[in-house]
Amino acid sequence: MLDKANVEIEGFVKVWDPVSGEIIQQGHNAINKEAMSYVLASLMKGPQGPYLYEMHFGNGGAIVDETGNITYRDVEINLEDGLSAALYNPTYFKVVDSTDELNDDITKNSVEISHTQGLYYTDVVVTCTLAPEQPDAGDYGNLVAVTQDEIDQGTLTGNFVFNEIGLKAKGDELNTGYLVSHIIFHPVQKSANRTIQVVYTLRIRLS
């Protein structure tokens, strides 16, 4: 009799331009074991538990010195903070829950399940799309401290640099949920005339 099962969660992230097809960044992410265990247990309790709700972007994951050398900060050390963990420097987030009214386009921002019968793993595929005008300084999801003058002139609209991404579960309010995963990579420049999409896959496997 099998009286226990080992749960493994593997994450893979692709950052790409869906218009040109260019893959900008791709790699494996780190899982916040404490936060993820809490979210999974809460989902088994009932429909009121936290679930994957937001994708967060930040620019504190890579440090560039005066000579141009890049040092990448350690996501494993960061996630040791468990339920208190956050991106190193969060700047922007979007709601990816397709049932939520704050999702600005449910065809381009979503959380989907992919499973093949007979296999012992299931993929959770989170897609988040930054349109040419995003992030916008006046957007509800923009966490950057900006001046009213910058908002009025639209100088920040669509221009964005990020080098870290994370997924957060739903909290009581926006940006109050637990960070369940984190990835750091070479800085990505998003210009105002470009669309960038992130496909963030979590594979949940039982053995």
Phi, psi of 33 (to 5 degrees): -65, -40
What are the 10-residue block averages of pLDDT along the chain, 207 residues in total? 77 96 95 94 80 94 88 93 94 93 95 94 96 79 57 63 95 93 94 94 92
Whole-angstrom distance, CA of residue 4 vs CA of residue 156: 51
- How many secondary structure helices (H) and strands (E) does the chain include? 3, 11
- Structural domain that includes position 164: 7-206
On whether residue 117 sits in a domain, the answer given is yes
Say how many domains are in the chain: 1
What is the SS3 assignment for 131? coil
Residue 3: predicted pLDDT: 67
For residue 53, count CB atoms less than 10 angstroms from its CB and return exposed for 0-12, middle for 13-18, buried for 19 or more. buried
Residue 140: predicted pLDDT: 63
Compute the chain's Rg from CA coordinates: 17
Contact present, 111 and 124 (Cβ < 8 Å): yes
On whether residue 1 sits in a domain, the answer given is no
Whole-angstrom distance, CA of residue 154 vs CA of residue 112: 34
Whole-angstrom distance, CA of residue 204 vs CA of residue 9: 5
Residue 7: predicted pLDDT: 86
**DSSP secondary structure letters along 65-97:** -TTS-EEE--HHHHHTTGGG---SSEEEEEE--
State pTM to two decimals.
Answer: 0.90
On whether residue 2 sits in a domain, the answer given is no
Nearest to 131 by CA among 103, 112, 173, 169: 103
Residue 5: predicted pLDDT: 76
Residue 136: predicted pLDDT: 78
The structure tokens listed for 49 are 């538990």
Nearest to 166 by CA among 36, 64, 40, 69: 36
Whole-angstrom distance, CA of residue 101 vs CA of residue 97: 9
- C-alpha count within 13 angstroms, C-beta hemisphere, residue 26: 8
On whether residue 84 sits in a domain, the answer given is yes
